[in-house]
Structure 1
Amino acid sequence: MTKLKGPVAIVTGAAGGIGRAIADKFTNEGYAVVWVDIDFSQIEKRKSLLENADAQHLFLEGNLEDISFLQAIVDQSMAKWGQIDVLVNNAAWRKPESLTNTSLEDWNRTLAVNITAPAFLSKFVAKALLLKKKNCVFVNMSSIMAHMASGYATAYTVCKGAVESLTYELAALYGPHGFRAVALRPGSVATSLSTDYTDPDGENISHAILAEIEGRTPLGRSANPKEIAEAVFWLSSPQASFITATTLDIDGGLLRNFNSYALKKRLKPNEF
């Protein structure tokens, strides 16, 4: 077992975007980090930039659809350090398809990665820690789409609603043992996951969708992944020790805004 200098955090989908920002944040705060992703080439690039990579980090490549891989994440983390302090269920997969055009294969894969994996990875972490009379914080990544349906990402939207319910279940089940469970509900975030929207002619219209969302966001922009990472870290820290069974909106005010600022300016040009 490797000598440990600080707490341990597992981050799924850690190779890029929000996941990489989260893993970097925990690393910078002195955590040992388990970097989990299906794309090992990107993890290897990150590994080359980290000091004491082998001692303070664990890099695991695998498919979260594979239940045995979920168990291996926990087993290898515990074998290396004997503890897990934070589990961040961040990884996501989706196709921007309505229910009308969603295949059963894509539906099942979306559910496997976005809700089954967080549920069973949390289960396996809890089981391992309870044997040692330890606990951790579960941090689950939801989305504003759980409460603002688009109509064109049905399976993903369903999963994000389910992730919030899972969070409350984890808090109720494991809270008496000292576990906490929280979720984050980001709005628009500047990552590659938001750049693959195409119309029937194959034209990428992601910029138009982004402009529409930012035009309805009171702060007038998308979030930087680092802003999401800061919130994840704070919610998992001792400073948030009495926060559990809840979801934090981190959307620049989008969820609470009624209509676009273009319309507001037409109505009240001197006020907006």
Structure 2
Amino acid sequence: MEELDRFRPRVIIITGASRGIGRAVAQKFACKGDFIALVADQKDELEESAALIKNADNYLLLHGDLADDDFLKQVVDDTLAKWGRIDVLVNNAAWRTLETLRTISLENWEKTLKICLTAPVFLSKLVAANMEKNGSKGVIIHISSIMADRAGGTSPAYVASKGALLSITYEMAALYGPSGIRVIAICPGNVHTRMSQDFTDSEGENISEGLVGDMENLTPLQRSATPEEIANGVFWLSSEEASFVTGTSLVIDGGFTHNFSSYKNKHSQFPKEF
């Protein structure tokens, strides 16, 4: 396998780069000297992310709607116009509503799938075509979720899209593997981001602290992740240290997925041990 020269900056496209995980991923790559195309629909927050990257020559701001097919092509074209290649794509952007299948509208369903599934797939298609054309041993990383396997009944379109994103990871890895392109998914557990702070009850009162607390009580490490911890996983998967990793997912959830019962319940059973 052709060795990647880490003295040569790589070119990274990151969607949802205006805050949370996307911003942390951008900072991680930028501090290593890589070139970053920051993609998001919130212009002011996108500029805030860019301000954290000290060298203005090392980033490109791409503000637009990922539900717009023309914008997907613009992201690839503008990145290539500036740096001439793409080495890594991180599909991180997400959108969702909190409601059950009983009440979700077709509009909310389709918007969620468009941003969380269709946009990542077709942006990946455009990027992979360029990687193959240039003989690049590129990497595509999808940010899925443990909710792909641990549904709660309260966000059907989001759960469906994250599950499908895992399946398309395997499909794309099988297709593009012979070209040397690796495709991997990351499944975070709860992460301290804005998306984990918008839970409300039937009266509209914010109940995020209680819900997050319950999840953390089910997590062996007894806390949520920071965006930087997810970014560390993204960076490792993109590196040569993970050169034989493709067609799979990395779960970063503090042990939540494979734990049975809350630590509150464990303590009631075995107070001297938990």
Q: Normalising TM by the smaller chain, what interval?
A: over 0.9
Please give the alpha-carbon distance, in whole angstroms, between the structure 1 residues aligned to 2:51 and 2:28: 17
Q: 1:96 aligns with which of 95, 98, 116?
A: 98
Q: Pick from 25, 28, 31: which aligns with 2:31?
A: 28
Matched ranges for 1:100-139 at <5 A: 100-139=102-141
The answer to whether the Cα contact below 8 Å between 2:217 and 2:262 also exists between their aligned partners in 1 is yes
Q: Take 2:104 and 2:58, find their aligned partners in 1: how far apart are those partners?
A: 41
Question: Are the equivalent residues in 1 in contact too, given 2:27–2:53 (CA < 8 A)?
Answer: no
Letter in 1 for 2:107: E
The structure 2 residue matched to 1:13, chosen from 7, 11, 16, is 16
Report the CA distance between 1:5 and its aligned residue.
5.0
Determine the C-alpha separation between the residues in 2 that align with 1:50 and 1:93. Answer: 25
Match of 2:264 in 1: 262
The one-letter amino acid paired with 1:85 is D
Give CA-to-partner distance per residue, 1:168-220, whole Å, 9 cap, x none: 11100000000001111100100010111111111111111101100000000
Look up the match of 2:55. Answer: 52
1:257 counterpart letter in structure 2: N
Matches within 5 A, 1:77-96: 77-96=79-98
User: Tell me, what secondary structure is at the counterpart of 1:100?
Assistant: coil
Of 251, 258, 262 in structure 2, the residue corresponding to residue 249 of structure 1 is: 251
Q: CA RMSD in A?
A: 1.2
Q: Does 2:45 correspond to 1:42?
A: yes
Asked whether the equivalents of residues 30 and 36 of structure 2 are also in contact (C-alpha less than 8 Å), the reply is yes
Aligned to 1:170: 172
Amino acid at match of 1:166: I
Q: Secondary structure at the match of 1:27?
A: helix
TM-score between the two structures when normalised by the length of structure 2 = 0.95
Superposed displacement of residue 271, structure 1: 1.1
Show structure 2 runs of 5+ residues with no match: 1-6
Secondary structure of the corresponding residue to residue 202 of structure 1: coil
Runs of 5+ unmatched residues, structure 1: none
Identity among equivalent positions (%) equals 50
Give the SS at the match of 1:70: helix
CA contact (8 A) 1:126 1:135 kept: no
2:216 to 214, 217, 220: 214
Cα distance between partner residues in 1 of 2:53 and 2:212: 33
